[in-house]
């Protein structure tokens, strides 16, 4: 969080400003009307398109914008930080043409077939977590429920031993905390993680089975198996992209239901609404904002963009644009037409979207089955994660039945 509060988001936006973190939606609405592309000198200069049209144009324009880094910081990565043309974490940080190769590699593992097969495992996991909360008047739906689901699912997909779950969660924590640290620090912090992952990878080389680790070990690039670093790097990417994103989506959905008893009652009584409701949760509380860098000086969307200026690519803001969504600022649990862009647009469309949807649906289904009525226990104490992934972290829920 910055100690230099923003006075005008149109000329000085900052996505870590406390006002933006607490409630960004009125800010975006104002910018949509006034700008619609906001500017800032912070972080070395950047732009924020507040409309669906602006977000969509830039997301699809890989000629003028690069994904070299997708998380805004004060510096810009140097060549040393980035193995060209692959980028740090393929495919999310790769540009065409290499992007397609890296993406093709992982897509089959996240296609609906293999993902839908995980449903029983995810359901069992949610039920177990809820069993652990039984008998409490107030449960923390963020830190005791939502937070555990994505890493536990990925642990299962990777085929790492179930009894290692605590250690695995600790490693996930190290990765999520350390991913933005300078290279030397990161290498040091990741050493124990890499050692554990390498051990698991080697174990899979000796005993291949039907899981994501064996899938990656069998995958081929130019007729050759992936280097071990590439296998490890892909696992790190999946952990970084798949955990606090999904945790945030589950948490925001439960937060919404705690605040809106009529929606909660409808979902409890009409479970067949779930698939449509999930899309509205994703539209209304889209957790993920990405970034791009401007490739060269240019006039774009009427703005004088400079090389290496940031673009804050607000998929959540696009989802509230009244030009695309009727009653954009209303949550409509059975909204039939919903072209939301929570998973991005264009070539970087979230590779894990089938998994994310499945986790979100089952997590809510099981939560409301166990607790058909609940409310926020202490609205003031709910905290929202700052930065580019938005979701409630502390989420005390009072169980009413």
Partner 1 sequence: MKVRIDPDICQGQGRCFSIAPGLFGFDELGNGVVIGDGTLQADTLALAQLAQANCPEHAIFIEE
242 binds, among ligand HEM, partner 1, none (CB under 5 to 8 A by kind): ligand HEM
Query: Residues 168, 315, 325, 384: which binds ligand HEM (CB under 6 A)?
Result: 315
Interaction between residue 242 and ligand HEM (CB under 6 A): yes
Interaction between residue 103 and ligand HEM (CB under 6 A): yes
Residues numbered 60 to 99 that lie near ligand HEM (CB under 6 A) are: 67, 70, 91-92
Stretch touching ligand HEM by CB under 6 A, among 73-81, 162-170, 284-292, 390-398: 284-292
Interaction between residue 58 and ligand HEM (CB under 6 A): no
Interaction between residue 36 and ligand HEM (CB under 6 A): no
Interaction between residue 340 and partner 1 (CB under 8 A): yes
Interaction between residue 351 and ligand HEM (CB under 6 A): yes
Q: 301: phi > 0 → left, psi -120 to 50 → alpha, else beta; which?
A: left
Interaction between residue 362 and ligand HEM (CB under 6 A): no
**Nearest approach, Cβ of residue 59 and ligand HEM (Å):** 6
Q: For the chain, what is the largest distance between any 2 Cα atoms, rounded to a whole number of angstroms?
A: 61
Number of residues that bind partner 1 (CB under 8 A): 23
**Nearest approach, Cβ of residue 134 and ligand HEM (Å):** 27
34 binds, among partner 1, ligand HEM, none (CB under 5 to 8 A by kind): none
21 binds, among ligand HEM, partner 1, none (CB under 5 to 8 A by kind): none
Where along the sequence are the contacts to ligand HEM (CB under 6 A)?
59, 67, 70, 91-92, 103, 237-238, 241-242, 245-246, 249, 287-288, 290, 315, 342-344, 348, 350-352, 355-356
């Amino acid at each position: 969080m910055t100690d230099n509060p923003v006075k005008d988001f149109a000329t000085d936006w900052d996505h870590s400003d406390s006002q933006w973190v607490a409630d960004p939606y009125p800010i975006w609405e104002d910018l949509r009307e006034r700008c619609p592309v906001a500017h800032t000198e912070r972080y070395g200069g950047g732009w924020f398109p507040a409309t669906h049209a602006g977000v969509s144009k830039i997301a699809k324009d890989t000629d003028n914008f690069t994904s070299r880094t997708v998380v805004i910081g004060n510096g810009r990565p140097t060549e040393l930080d980035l193995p060209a043309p692959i980028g740090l974490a393929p495919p999310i940080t790769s540009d065409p043409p290499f992007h397609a190769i890296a993406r093709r590699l992982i897509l089959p593992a996240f296609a609906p077939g293999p993902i839908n097969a995980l449903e029983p495992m995810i359901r069992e996991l949610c039920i177990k977590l809820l069993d652990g909360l039984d008998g409490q008047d107030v449960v923390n739906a963020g830190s005791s429920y939502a937070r555990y689901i994505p890493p536990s699912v990925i642990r299962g997909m990777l085929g790492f031993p179930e009894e290692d779950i605590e250690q695995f969660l600790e490693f996930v924590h190290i990765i999520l905390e350390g991913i933005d640290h300078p290279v030397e620090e990161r290498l040091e912090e990741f050493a124990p993680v890499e050692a554990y992952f390498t051990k698991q990878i080697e174990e899979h080389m000796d005993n291949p089975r039907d899981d994501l680790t064996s899938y990656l070990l069998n995958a081929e690039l130019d007729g050759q198996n992936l280097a071990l670093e590439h296998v490890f790097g892909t696992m790190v990417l999946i952990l970084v992209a798949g955990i606090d994103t999904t945790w945030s989506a589950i948490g925001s959905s439960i937060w919404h239901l705690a605040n809106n008893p009529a929606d909660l009652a409808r979902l409890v009584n009409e479970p067949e609404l779930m698939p449509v409701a999930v899309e509205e949760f994703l539209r209304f509380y889209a957790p993920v904002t990405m970034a791009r860098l401007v490739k060269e000086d240019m006039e774009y969307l009427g703005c004088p963009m400079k090389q290496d200026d940031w673009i804050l690519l607000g998929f959540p803001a696009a989802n509230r644009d009244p030009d695309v969504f009727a009653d954009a600022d209303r949550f409509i649990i059975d909204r039939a037409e919903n072209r939301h862009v929570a998973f991005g647009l264009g070539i970087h469309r979230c590779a894990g979207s089938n998994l994310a949807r499945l986790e979100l649906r089952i997590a809510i289904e099981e939560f409301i089955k166990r607790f058909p009525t609940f409310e926020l226990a202490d609205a003031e104490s709910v905290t929202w994660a700052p930065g580019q992934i938005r979701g409630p972290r502390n989420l005390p829920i009072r169980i009413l039945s």
